[in-house]
């Protein structure tokens, strides 16, 4: 007598496989896709503006991957910033979690006035220097009255203006942009002179696993060659000296970063050789706009000799109105970097075509037409 093989009905087999797949389906549903960290170095002409969009997992308020919008500086013009930011993806009415003014110079804070009109800003941070400029006073007043917002002025120390706050007693100060990120303000100062406002600049370091950024405002490290005092690029002074002495000690180097926002638009008063070597950046971003002879050729040479690749928002020739904004995206392991618009050669050709079209339009019509 032969044994008969027991068979299972087809519906039962389908149910069995569906039950087996449920754990993996549920796991995928519980692990939403996370967007990359995106850092946009905005072409605002001669000035600084950085928009940071932190990673987002689609879940609000869980303390990780929160999708915050962060702004560091706003460039020299509210009109320009209001024109360009929506085209980059930051629409009117968006929420800004943190807005930083690196220091009290117009090519950094003027555009922030326009942003305070455009966006809902939850926290504004300033190093706290009190200049005599009425326009800067307008920025401070607008930040102070921003609804449901905190104005940290100065960033650290003691708040002396009613309605302002501080982040702590001294630097460094840690910031919460989500548990996946390490963020610190390393330096800032309200104790400077009218002639050294650049040295009040907030210095911010952002780290996402293996990829890190250092934002330096206009902080300086040497004097000009034709001025009194030290101007040796191998012997830093001022802010760069403070940063090196404070954060590069023994085997610890808290300045080391993958991507550096090169200070002071590439001025030769910044970026001394020891500072460049300590940061060790693979990529260097210069935000400039064909003014004051910046960036300085000696600075570019110093970075290239250390192996840093240079990106710049003045890549297109003067008069060529092509956006040279630079975008970095990273998952914390690898990163991609590039310009949002065509190559410099293509940009120059576009400018030539526009000039030619303008010339033709201006020519008088031939007789008989």
Q: pLDDT tens, 6-39?
A: 454 545 444 455 455 555 444 444 667 999 999 9
Residue 98: what are its φ and ψ, rounded to 5°? -135, 135
Q: Chain centroid to CA 252: how far?
A: 25
The answer to whether 166 touches 154, Cβ cutoff 8 Å, is: yes
Task: Judge whether 71 and 11 are in contact, CB under 8 Å.
Answer: no
Confidence of residue 223 (pLDDT cuts 50, 70, 90): confident
Mean per-residue pLDDT for 203-224?
Answer: 96
The residue-averaged pLDDT of 333-361 equals 75
Residue-level pLDDT at 291? 81
Distances in Å between the Cα of 94 and the Cα atoms of 61, 149, 177 are 17, 14, 17
Q: What is the pLDDT of residue 294?
A: 87
Q: Please give the pLDDT value at position 350.
A: 64
* pLDDT band (50, 70, 90) for residue 132: confident
Residue 167 lies in a domain: yes
| Residue 151 β-bridge partners | 124
Is residue 15 situated within a structural domain? Answer: no
Could you tell me if residue 14 is inside a domain?
no
Residue 109, domain extent:
32-359
pLDDT of residue 251: 85
Q: What is the mean pLDDT of residues 336-352?
A: 78
| pTM beyond cutoff 0.75 | yes
Instruction: Confirm whether 188 is domain-assigned.
Output: yes
The total domain count for the chain is: 1
Q: Can you tell me which residue has the tokens 């002495």?
A: 245
Quick: pLDDT tens for 281-315: 999 999 998 888 889 999 999 999 999 999 999 98
In which band, very low, low, confident or very high, does the pLDDT at 278 lie, cut at 50, 70 and 90? very high
Q: Please tell me whether residue 345 adopts helix, strand or coil conformation.
A: helix
26 lies in a domain?
A: no
pLDDT at 322: 78
Q: What is the pLDDT of residue 228?
A: 60
- Pairwise CA distance, residues 262 & 272, whole Å: 11
Q: Is residue 320 part of a domain?
A: yes
Asked whether residue 295 is domain-assigned, the answer is yes
316: confidence class by pLDDT, cuts 50, 70, 90? confident
User: 174, 160, 229: which is closest to 207 by C-alpha?
Assistant: 174
Give residue-wise pLDDT tens across range 69-81.
999 999 999 999 9
177 has a pLDDT exceeding 70: yes
Q: Is residue 283 part of a domain?
A: yes
Contacts of 335 (CB under 8 A, 6+ apart): 211, 258, 259, 328, 329
Specify the pLDDT at position 197: 95
CATH number, domain containing residue 44: 3.60.15.10
């Amino acid at each position: 007598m032969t044994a008969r093989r027991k068979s299972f009905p087809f519906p039962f087999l389908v149910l069995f496989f569906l039950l087996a797949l449920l754990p993996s389906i549920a796991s995928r549903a519980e692990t939403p896709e996370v967007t990359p960290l995106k850092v946009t170095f905005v072409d605002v002409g001669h000035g600084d503006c950085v928009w940071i969009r932190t990673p987002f997992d689609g879940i609000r308020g869980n303390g990780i991957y929160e999708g915050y919008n962060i702004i560091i500086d706003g460039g020299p013009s509210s009109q320009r910033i209001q024109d360009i930011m929506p085209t980059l993806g930051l629409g009117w009415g968006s929420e800004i979690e943190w807005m930083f003014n690196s220091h009290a110079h117009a090519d950094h804070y003027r555009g922030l006035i326009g942003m305070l009109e455009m966006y809902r800003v939850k926290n504004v941070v300033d190093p706290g220097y009190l200049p005599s400029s009425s326009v800067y006073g307008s920025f401070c007043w607008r930040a102070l009255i921003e609804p449901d917002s905190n104005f940290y002025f100065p960033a650290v120390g003691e708040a002396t203006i009613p309605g302002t706050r501080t982040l702590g007693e001294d630097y460094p100060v840690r910031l919460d942009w989500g548990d996946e990120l390490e963020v610190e303000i390393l330096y800032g100062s309200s104790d400077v002179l009218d002639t050294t406002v650049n040295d009040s600049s907030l210095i911010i370091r952002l780290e996402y696993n293996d990829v890190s950024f250092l934002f330096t405002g206009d902080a300086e490290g040497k004097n000009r060659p034709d001025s009194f005092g030290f101007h040796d690029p191998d012997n830093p002074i001022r802010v760069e000296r403070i940063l090196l002495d404070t954060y590069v000690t023994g085997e610890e180097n808290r300045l080391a970063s993958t991507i550096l926002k090169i200070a002071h638009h590439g001025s030769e008063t910044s970026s001394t050789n020891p500072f460049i070597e300590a940061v060790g950046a693979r990529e260097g971003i210069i935000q400039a706009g064909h003014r004051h002879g910046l960036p300085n050729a000696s600075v570019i040479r110093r970075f290239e000799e250390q192996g840093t690749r240079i990106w710049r928002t003045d890549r297109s020739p003067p008069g060529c109105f092509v956006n040279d904004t630079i975008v970095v995206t990273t998952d914390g392991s690898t990163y991609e970097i590039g310009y949002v618009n065509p190559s410099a050669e293509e940009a120059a050709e576009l400018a030539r075509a526009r000039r030619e079209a303008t010339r033709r339009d201006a020519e008088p019509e031939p007789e008989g037409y």
